Amino acid sequence: MNRIILLLIFLIGQGAWAQTTAPTKREVIGRDIGQLKGIKISGRIIDAISGEALIGATVTVPELDVTKITDNNGSFELILDRAEYTIQFRYVGYETIDYPITAVGDGRMSIRMLQEDFQLDDVVIFGRDPEKNIRSTDMGAINLNMNTIRELPPFLGEIDIVRSLATLPGVSQVGEASSGLNVRGGGVDQNLIQFAGAPIYNPSHMFGLFTAFNADVVNDVTLYKAVVPARFGGRSSAILDILPKAGSVDKWGGDLMLSNYSGKLSLNGPLIKDKVSILGGFRLSYINWFLNSLSNPTVKNSQANFYDGNLVISAPVSENNEFTYSYYTSYDDFAFASDTTISWKNTAHSLQWKSKLSSRLSLEALGYYSLYDYGIFNQSGINDFEIKSGIQDLGGKLFLGYNFNETNKIFFGGEFKQVKIQPGELVPTGAEQEILPQKVQDELGQEAGIHFQHEFELGEKFGFSYGIRYDTYRYLGPRTVRQYEETKPVSDGSAISETAFGEGEPIQTYNGLGPRASFRYSFSKSSSVKLGYNKMYQFIHLISNTATIAPTDVWKLSDNFLEPQIADQYSLGFYNNFKGNIFETSLEVYYKDLQNVVEYKDGATLIMQNHLETELIPAEGQAYGVELYVKKNLGRLTGWVSYTYSRTLRRVITPFEEENINNGEWYASNFDKPHDLTLIGNYKVSTNTSISATFAYNTGRPVTFPEAKFDYSGNNLAYFNSRNQQRIPDFHRLDFSVNFKLKGKGLFFDGDWTFSVLNVYGRKNPFSIFFDDAENAPPQALRLAILGVPLPSLSYSIKF
């Protein structure tokens, strides 16, 4: 059908289309001014249908044995002599184009490649470049293209970016309803999640049941879990970089998806033909509508709403300059049969300018503003109130790259951001004044970083990348800061005085030098070994005593009590591809040392707490693991096996014995799950039908069991002493999905029906085991299972 569309476009007559597929006649490129050498031919490769840039496509000049890879913009550049060539353009999942040219002068090519899905029996789940895992010096950079993610069984009817990442080695989630990711033993707050360059604090809907990013507007997802390029900083474990798609500059199109939980629509097309494109996406859940139509009072009184929306305006104003504006928002509110509603909302704006200043020097400048607002609203009729909290980030980044040649590049730049946190403001909303308005002091911090990185290769065998990042952070007034007696644990009782800092007055400053280095040795074209080291600083902390990101959490900047989190990571990896990259394997080992991780005193009060230092204790952490990964990229059956053995431990030793946790011994962190296995398979039954299945197994996470029961005020209470000494039962779950492609049912529709079942054999995987003395039952252990039954979902999606 794509062909039919193409044919139509051909008939309408667009000159540019002559370049789409291989021309029969050799084409002369450039203006002939008699140039013989150093002819520069640049170009851009896009999808012929959607107009999206094809990132990582290969451009080969067989006559010169030169291969180039297209950049994030789909652009490439060749330096040729005056001669005839047959340039080959290849991209996974697309028809290869052999393009005969005669290069006579500097010029430009515009290549449109066609997906070969209508004739493809095989599924291809390469990332950008089939040999990248072997050749690049990147370590632990996982790039998932949307095609890969689409082959996984959908979660509740939808493709889920965050969950897809959790199927990879070294990446896990706390449980079935939890936001965020735990990367190599780090907490959920140790990942910087950025959408189009702007930080996002809560990446989920409905407490993690859904990811708050609409997969239809996402182009590319990269997770850096080991050696993070020096351009990224501010979080100590990992960076999740999500880039939105750009709209097409020449035709309108879109995606529509309807599932039994939510619907989404995205549209894109030229705002100004060939100059400015726009892409808009919106996703809405209709769960609430159903809840309200039910008679069960518990359900009827509940509400759950969410939506998210995107807007991307992209203007390639000239050959070498492109401006992109991105807007992202997501919203949730939730009330479960009660008078209390909780809600949260992310908003992010970013404006990016990408420029090729010369053939060697490129520049990216980005400014962003992001806002995360969340609140708790009590409308019980007595002492009604709302607690509002928020985080506001305003920042800019500058990133330059200079190519000495293809294998010798430097990158440098700087970054600045200001973070303002409103930890909580309680506003009485009742008719009578029965409670006092209350406000926890706002926090203000400034972070600046400069970075430099050098990547080069020595011959085919050796690759090096080293970089350095210098971060400086200031914690600023206005703020009243307490001093405490040094001989006693920090508590309300040991406060001795207070100092008031004026507006903009620095209260505390921290600096950090973060080296990054990796080294690659290639045994052959298909196997290599890499070694890496990484140091990262983090000046913001998620203060939560639940195991996941929730709107009841507080984010806190580093201050004179809470020092920045620091992570040192050492990693070693072996990479081997077999059978012409059909199989990709890797074995990675890492050790991570964490400083100043936050732990909590027993029964800490975190909400509306003006003196969080009285509730927190700094902990040391260490994490180590082995990650095994085998992936089959091509064939009717594709998929991967990923297995991780890892530990993530914490230790709390303070000058005061009574504050030590577990007597100062190492203990398992809340998300320590030693064995973690994922099997994913996708089988192409026929041209139009595929099935996929995911099986996941991991060790149950740690839990604290009571050491005794005792009686107080008529309750049988549990006496807990040592933290995290037992584990909940192991987790395992099988998910399954079938996908049918509808073909030819209407000229402009190309639909997919996906039926999936989550938790096929209905295992009641515990999210938690807790101890309760409920009425009419003995004190006992109870299991909370979030997905206790097989959960089917059905979705229909069309592309137009």
Window 218 to 277, contacts with other proteins (CB under 8 A)? 260-261
Phi/psi of residue 525, each to 5°?
-65, -20
178 binds other proteins (CB under 8 A): yes
Positions 653 through 692 that interact with other proteins (CB under 8 A): 670
Positions 344 through 373 that interact with other proteins (CB under 8 A): none
* Closer residue to other proteins (CB): 400 or 781: 781
Positions 570 through 629 that interact with other proteins (CB under 8 A): 600, 602-605, 608
Q: Which of 464, 720, 749, 800 binds other proteins (CB under 8 A)?
A: 720
Token readout for 542 is: 């998620």
- Nearest C-alpha neighbor of 189 from the set 685, 693, 538: 538
Per CB under 8 A, the segment of 396-404, 445-453, 625-633, 763-771 that binds other proteins is 763-771
Positions 76 through 115 that interact with other proteins (CB under 8 A): none
* Closer residue to other proteins (CB): 459 or 778: 778
* Closer residue to other proteins (CB): 231 or 611: 611
Give dist(CA 564, CA 576) in Å, integer: 38
Q: Which of 550, 617, 623, 734 binds other proteins (CB under 8 A)?
A: 550
Token readout for 721 is: 């002493």
Least separation in angstroms between CB 378 and other proteins: 12
Burial (CB < 10 A; 0-12, 13-18, 19+), residue 587, is middle
513 binds other proteins (CB under 8 A): no
Least separation in angstroms between CB 209 and other proteins: 9
119 contacts: CB under 8 Å, gap ≥ 6: 687
Least separation in angstroms between CB 110 and other proteins: 46
- In DSSP terms, 10 is beta-bridged to none
Find out whether 300 and 291 touch, Cβ atoms under 8 Å.
yes
Give dist(CA 410, CA 360) in Å, integer: 10
Could you report how far apart the first and last alpha carbons of the chain are, in Å? 11
Give dist(CA 531, CA 520) in Å, integer: 7
Burial (CB < 10 A; 0-12, 13-18, 19+), residue 296, is exposed
- Nearest C-alpha neighbor of 386 from the set 314, 452, 330, 333: 333
* Closer residue to other proteins (CB): 59 or 550: 550
293 binds other proteins (CB under 8 A): yes
Place of tokens 């309408």: 12
| Bond from prior residue into 478 cis (ω within 30 degrees of 0) | yes
* Closer residue to other proteins (CB): 695 or 705: 705
* Closer residue to other proteins (CB): 626 or 786: 786
3-state secondary structure 166-226: CCCCCEECCCCCCCCCEECCCCHHHEEEEECCEECCCCEEHHHCEECCCHHHEEEEEEECC
Q: Which of 14, 359, 721, 746 binds other proteins (CB under 8 A)?
A: 721
Q: Which of 363, 435, 450, 677 binds other proteins (CB under 8 A)?
A: 435
Radius of gyration from C-alpha coordinates of the chain: 28
Q: What is the maximal distance between C-alpha atoms in the chain? A: 98
Per CB under 8 A, the segment of 461-469, 506-514, 623-631, 712-720 that binds other proteins is 712-720
* Closer residue to other proteins (CB): 228 or 426: 426
Per CB under 8 A, the segment of 276-284, 562-570, 615-623, 759-767 that binds other proteins is 759-767
Least separation in angstroms between CB 347 and other proteins: 24
433 binds other proteins (CB under 8 A): yes
431 binds other proteins (CB under 8 A): no
Q: Which of 33, 498, 502, 712 binds other proteins (CB under 8 A)?
A: 712
Least separation in angstroms between CB 246 and other proteins: 35
Least separation in angstroms between CB 709 and other proteins: 4
